[in-house]
Chain A
Amino acid sequence: MKDFILLLREDFDALDALSIDEMQELVESHMNWVKELVASGNFKAGDGLDKEGAVIASKSRLVTDGPYMEAREAIGGYYIIQAENLEQAVEISKGCPALEHNGSVEVRPIMVY
């Protein structure tokens, strides 16, 4: 088994526009998805990220506030899962609830050397 990180890019405008029912549904579907991953032995770790943060520019070291207002999609959280190979990791990631609300998921193998 190899480790993969799933970077969840989310549309914050879409999240803010969720109704209270939809918000609850999304929380529940993430919780259910994690439970499934735990049950199948694919879950390793995961966290959500706060909306606020900072970006440090190259060279100038200029610090600006995140999240990156220009980008419609910012990273809202990550999961680390275990899978046989990239194909399986991708298959698993297709079930990620973040995809339901205009988000995307980037699947990257964690390098082993």
Chain B
Amino acid sequence: MPENNQQYLARTFQEQKGRLTSILTYYLGTEHLTVIEDLIQDTFYAALKTWPTNPPRSPEAWLITVAKNKAINYIKKSKNLSFSEQLDHLVFWNAEDVFSEKEIENSQLNLLFACSCLDLSEKNKIILILKLLGGFEASQIARVLVQGREAVFKSLQRSLKNLNKEKLKYYLDNPSSKNLETVNTVLYLMFHEGFQTYPENASRGKDLCHQAIYLTNLLIDRGIGQTDTLALLSLMYFNLARFDSRKSDLGSLILLENQDRQSWDKKLITLGFKYLQNSGSGFKLSPFHLEAAIASVHCSSDSFANTDWKKILWLYDRLIEIKTSPIILLNKAIVVYYLEGPEKAWGILEDIGQDPKISSYHLFYAVKGEIALHSGNQEIALSLFKQALSLTKSELEKELILGKIKEMKDSE
């Protein structure tokens, strides 16, 4: 019997659930997702009942085989003629052949494309992908995305209905470049969500980042991903490298300026550079290329003081030429602040403040407050910090802002 169950169940049930959902959907079709969920639940129940006294040599293979058999039994019982082809396929082949690793990966990509190309908001797509491919439950998604459980639940119901009508098409046969762009964007946002929700939900946030990286890698391995996908992967690795350095041992937030660069993961940074280099082989310069390049400048600087702000500003200007958003401009303003001082940065902030999209973004006020403070406008800074405080949902960010306010009062 194996020494350690933790090691033994190397792949978690959650991850397995995503894999089983993908492969069963591949065979049974998206219109049968409710049944698929039941089949998977039954599979885990069978594991609960048999593993304690008959531990399988390979838990993954065991789960796949049992899920496959349950699917066959279901099809036979349902007498649904539309299943006959799948039944032949499932019955006459071994689980090892039919549900091979390669086939599971194909099914995951297929489902990823199917979900990404639905007519839904990006947030709803992420929720759906986390549920189906990531094996996340509504309550976990709610925690990671800082949303109400009820809202996540409703979003899922709506999206599943949508997917139901769609039926699963074999997207992989002909992945159009437009679809690929959508998939890239969804993966980017998925990673971003995991990255920014971090402090309070460290492990779940990281799960999300890893899930996004896993799927991005899969796109590349299968030759579906293009140079922008490579740049995206590079960006993910650069960011993941400093994932843990954003929080102190005492649990408070640490800003980029004060992070211990020694603790950044060198291996991940190397991977970031590797993919950034590979991404340069095409003619297309995507926003991911520029964002990855910006991250690479931070990662290759040995201290905050030595940051090459000129290079970063140049990259931001190129980025803004092909894609602009108030958030990108906000980041540019920070760079301008370090390079040219608070007055110039303040001007940019005044401009983007007109955009209603940014008026509820707490970091906008936090950054503006910081710049006001450094221009000597204590009162304005204080009111901006208070605005940021009222908008953030993160306890750790609240703590950080309160610390700033206290510092200001102490120095008066």
Contacts and interface: CB of A to CB of B under 8 A. Distances in A.
B53 A16 contact: no
Instruction: Among B6, B49, B135, find the residue whose CB has the most chain A CB atoms closer than 10 A.
Output: B49
B52 A31 contact: yes
Contact of B55 (A23, A31, A48): A31
A20 B137 contact: yes
A40 interface: no
A68 B338 CA distance: 71
A28 B344 CA distance: 59
Contacts of B52: 27, 30-31, 33-34, 46, 48
A61 B110 CA distance: 52
B1 A35 contact: yes
B19 interface: no
B53 A23 contact: no
Interface in B333-375: none
Category for how many chain B residues contact A: 20 to 34
Contacts of B49: 47-50, 76-77
A32 interface: yes
Contacts of A51: 45
Interface stretch (B10-18, B83-91, B114-122, B383-391): B10-18
A19 B12 CA distance: 13
A90 interface: no
Interface in A25-67: 26-28, 30-35, 38, 45-51
Contacts of A26: 48
A92 interface: no
A51 B38 CA distance: 13
A45 B48 CA distance: 16
Contacts of B13: 20-21, 23-24, 27
Contacts of B408: none
A31 B51 contact: yes
Contacts of A46: 52-53
A31 B8 CA distance: 11
A86 interface: no
Contact of A48 (B17, B50, B137): B50
Contacts of B224: none
A45 B9 contact: no
Given A20-B17, A21-B14, A23-B44, A28 B5 contact: yes
The 6 A-B residue pairs whose C-beta atoms are closest, nearest first, are A48-B49, A30-B52, A24-B13, A46-B53, A34-B52, A28-B5
Interface of A: 15-16, 19-21, 23-24, 26-28, 30-35, 38, 45-51, 76-77
16 contacts: A15-B48, A19-B139, A20-B14, A21-B13, A21-B14, A23-B44, A24-B9, A27-B51, A27-B52, A30-B48, A31-B51, A32-B5, A34-B52, A46-B53, A48-B53, A76-B49
